[in-house]
Amino acid sequence: MSSARFDRAELESLLVGLRPKLHRYAARMAGSTIEGEDIVQEAIVKALAAHDGGALVERPEQWLFRIAHNAAQDHLRRRQRERSRTTEADMTAIEDLSADAEARLAAATSLRTFMRLTLAQRAAVILTDVLGLSLTETCEVTGATLAATKAALHRGRAELKALAAISDEVAMPKLDPAEERRLRRYIDLFNARDFDAVRALIAEDIELEVVNRTRLSGKQQASTYFGNYNRAADWALSLGFVEGRPAILIRNPQADNAVRGFMLLDWHNDRVVGIRDFRYAPYCLDNADIRAIAV
């Protein structure tokens, strides 16, 4: 359909429903649930801008995945330049699994393991085996030919099968004592619902994002965020790591203390200058490497 029949309200509604699926793709492409959310946000901004600019949209879902695919590629190129990482070579092809087994293996594979595949293999496996797109739809998203997509899918599946037998265990990261002290104080005050003391820890120009909900700037706006937590009873905070980064885990005491989200804090001179709260982005927990730290 054209953009004249696919209005902005319809696009925004589609983005709400498709966001978890877009994140599954982006997180696996980036090997990070956190960076996957960054890619999704970039894709959403680009999609809305393209629509407002009069872009013709014939198949909205494939169009959005194409934008997310391009955003992921841009993100990975930037990251590669920053880290000066070298591209790994393709592995020798191994026999295919059954279709059902391939899908189960791909869905259960850790984000870190996906990074062992080449970019083309990663895209083909994720779109086909994780998200269930057809080969034709996968070609439309990636822009690759059918032959190239089939080859990438075959090699990617074979690589995942070989990697499945290798332990993916990684040692628990080390937490800097000063960072631990700051985080534990923040958590203790939050759990005690002493939000006046919590507010005293944040900077006047704090930037706060409740992922998938809202963005707030400055201490005055951030006060509404703490007020919302004060009125809720379905949370308790604890210390942990998310993808190797120090994080605050949001648990649900009404559901066996299961992790329902996490917070990432940025500090400057013992003041919190940035908060990213993933409480309302449960899709970001999918295959995330989350580790709790003992009290």
CA distances from 200 to 93, 102, 223, 265, 272 (A): 58, 51, 11, 15, 9
CA distances from 206 to 73, 203, 216 (A): 30, 5, 8
- For the chain, what are the domain ranges? 8-164, 177-292
Domain 177-292, CATH number (from 2.60.40.420, 3.30.70.120, 3.90.550.10, 3.10.450.50)? 3.10.450.50
What is the per-residue pLDDT for 100? 61
What is the per-residue pLDDT for 18? 95
273-293 tens-digit pLDDT: 999 999 999 999 988 889 999
Enter the tokens of residue 254.
Answer: 């009404």
201-229 tens-digit pLDDT: 999 999 999 999 999 999 999 999 999 99
Please spell the DSSP secondary structure of the chain, one letter per residue.
--TTTS-HHHHHHHHHHHHHHHHHHHHHHHT-HHHHHHHHHHHHHHHHHHHHTT---SSHHHHHHHHHHHHHHHHHHHHHHHHTPPPPPPPPP-----HHHHHHHHHHS-HHHHTTS-HHHHHHHIIIIIS---HHHHHHHH---HHHHHHHHHHHHHHHHHHHTS----PPPPPPHHHHHHHHHHHHHHHTT-HHHHHHHEEEEEEEEETTTEEEEHHHHHHHHHHHHHH--S-EEEEEEETTEEEEEEEEGGGTTEEEEEEEEEEETTEEEEEEE-TT-GGGGTT--EEE---
- Considering the domain delimited by 8-164, tell me its CATH architecture: Up-down Bundle (1.20)
9-53 tens-digit pLDDT: 889 999 999 999 999 999 999 999 999 999 999 999 999 999 888
What is the per-residue pLDDT for 102? 65
pTM: 0.79
Q: Give yes or no for residue 91 having a pLDDT over 90.
A: no
